[in-house]
Structure 1
C-alpha cells in the first residue's frame, strides 16, 4: 500500500487515468493537475491548479510519457490550463521527491540536476518497453492494413533495428506470413535474426535491401531512412517510423518522391490507452512501493 504518500500527477492523456486508478487503489493521496475537464472525479484524489498544490509535502511527481517540452510545459488532453514544471516548484519538494516520466529531454535533465532530485525514465526500463511492444505491434499491423492495398501475408517487409520493439515487430509480421528481412549492425543481432527464421542483413547494405519492399518499418531513432535509401524503394512502399520524434526518416524527400511515410511514435497510447496505462501503472506502483520501503528501512 502507498498510504501516506502524497503524489502529484501532472498532465497527460488517457493512459494517466489508469495510473490514477491504480494509485487510488493503493491508498495514495493524489493531487491531479491538468484534469479539470475530466468528466468523472476520483474518490481520494483532488483536482488542483499548479499553484494550489502543496509541493512541500509531495513525495513523487508523475509526468506524462513525453515528460515536458523543451520549455518545461506539460501537455494534457483534459485541460486548457498552461502547465509548466519549473525549477522553483521542484525546489519546494522534499529532498527525497522523485520525478517519474516516460522519457526525458535537456530541460528535464537540467531541472533535476539543478534541484538535485531523482528522475526515473520508465521507458528506459526493459519491462515497460517489452510490455509496450505488444500494443505497438498491434498498432503497426493496423496502420499497414489501413495504408496498403495488399495483404500482409506474402508481402515483403523490412524491419530496421532489433531492439525490444524491432524484435516483436519482426516476429509478429513473420507469423502473419510476411517475408521479413531485418537490418541490424551488431553481429549478435544478425545471429539472433537468423535464429528467428527471418532474413538478416547489415544496415550498411540497407539501400540494396529495400529495392523490392512493400513495407519498411523503422525502429531506430537516428537518420537511417535517408534520401539515398528512399530513392531505391518502389513507389508503392509504405514507410512506418516507430522511432521517437523526429524519427529516422527523411519525410520531406519521401513526400517529394510520392512515397507514403508515417511517423508513429506513442502507438500504445493511441491504439490501446487502457492497456498502455495499466503497463505504466503496474510498474510505477511497484517502484513507488520499493521507494517507500527503502525510506522506511533507512
Structure 2
C-alpha cells in the first residue's frame, strides 16, 4: 500500500488516468495538476496548481510519458492551462523524492540532478518496453491494414531491428502468414531471427532486400531508410517507422517517390491508452512501494 505517500501527478493523457486510479486504489495522497477538464471526480485526490503544491512534502512526482519540454512545459491534455516545472519548484522537493517520467531530455536530467532527485525513465525499463510492445504491434498491424490493398498474409515484410519491440512485431506479422525478413547488424538478433524461422540479413544488404518488399517496419533509431535505400524500394511498399523522433526514414525523399511512410512512435497511447496506462501504473506502483 501507499498510505501516507504524497504524490504530484503533473499533466498527461488518457494513460495517466489509469495511473491515477491505481494510485488511489493503493491509498496514496494525490495532487493533480492539469486534469480539471475531466468530467469525473477522483476520490482521494485534489486538483491544484503548481504553486499550491508544497514540494517539501512530496515523496514522488509523476510526469507524462512524453516527459517535459526543454522550457519546462508539461503536456496537459485535460487542461487549457499549461503546467511548467521549474528548477526553483523542483528544488523544494526532498532529496529522497523520485521523479517518474516516460522519456527525458537533457534539461530534465540536469534539473533532477541539481535538485538531488532520482529520475526514473519508465520507457527505458525492459519490463515496460516489453509489455508496451504488445499494443505497439497491434497498432502497427492496424496502420498497415488501413493503408494497404493486400493482406498481411503472403506479404513480404521487412522488420528492421529485433529488439524488444521488433521481436514482438516480427512475431505478430509472421503469425499472420507474412514472409518476414529481419534486417539488423546485431549478430545476436540475426541468430534469434533464424531461431524464429525468419530470414535475417545485415543492413548493408537493405537496398537489395527492399526491392521486393510490400511492408517495411523500422524500429532502429538511426537513419537506415535513407534516400539511397528508398531509391531501390517499390512505390507500392508501405513504411511504418516506430523509432523515436525523427525516426530512421528519409520522409521527404519517400514522399517524392510516392512511397507511403508513417512515423508512428507512441502507438500504445494512441491505440490502447487504457492498457498502456495499466502497464505504467503497475510498474510505477511497484517502484513506489519499494521506495
Partner of 2:56: 56
- TM-score, normalised by the number of residues in structure 1: 0.96
**3-state SS of the aligned residue for 1:133?**
helix
How far has the Cα of 1:26 moved from its partner?
0.4
Which residue pairs with 2:276 in the alignment?
Answer: 276
- Aligned residue for 1:102? 102
What 5-or-longer segments of structure 1 have no aligned partner? 292-298
**Helix, strand or coil for the counterpart of 2:23?**
helix
Q: Distance in 2 between matches of 1:3 and 1:184?
A: 47
The structural deviation recorded for 1:71 is: 1.5
In 2, the alpha carbon distance for the partners of 1:69 and 1:11 equals 12
Alignment of 1:55-134 (within 5 A): 55-134=55-134
TM value normalised by structure 2: 0.99
Runs of 5+ consecutive residues of structure 2 not aligned to the other structure: none
1:30 aligned partner: 30
**1:15 — aligned with what?**
15
Q: How big is the shift at 1:2?
A: 0.3
Give the 4+ runs in structure 1 shifted more than 6 A: none
1:110, distance to aligned residue in structure 2 (A): 1.4
- SS of residue paired to 1:206: helix
How far, CA to CA, are the matches of 2:275 and 2:110 in structure 1? 32
CA distance in 2, matches of 1:151, 1:76: 39
1:139 alignment partner in structure 2? 139
Hey, what does 1:295 align to over in structure 2? Answer: none
- The aligned counterpart of 1:165 is 165
Asked if 1:213 corresponds to 2:203, the answer is no
2:216–2:238 contact (8 Å) kept in structure 1: yes
Match of 1:251 in 2: 251
- 1:196 positional shift: 0.3
How many aligned positions are there?
291
Deviation at 1:112, TM superposition (A): 1.2
For the 8 Å contact 2:31–2:53, the answer to whether it is kept is yes
Three-state SS of the structure 2 residue aligned to 1:35 is coil
After the TM superposition, which residues 139-218 of structure 1 pair with which residues of structure 2 at under 5 Å, given as runs? 139-218=139-218
Tell me the equivalent position of 2:234: 234
SS at match of 1:109: helix
Mapped to 1, the partners of 2:199 and 2:71 lie a distance apart of 44
Equivalent residue, structure 2, for 1:3: 3
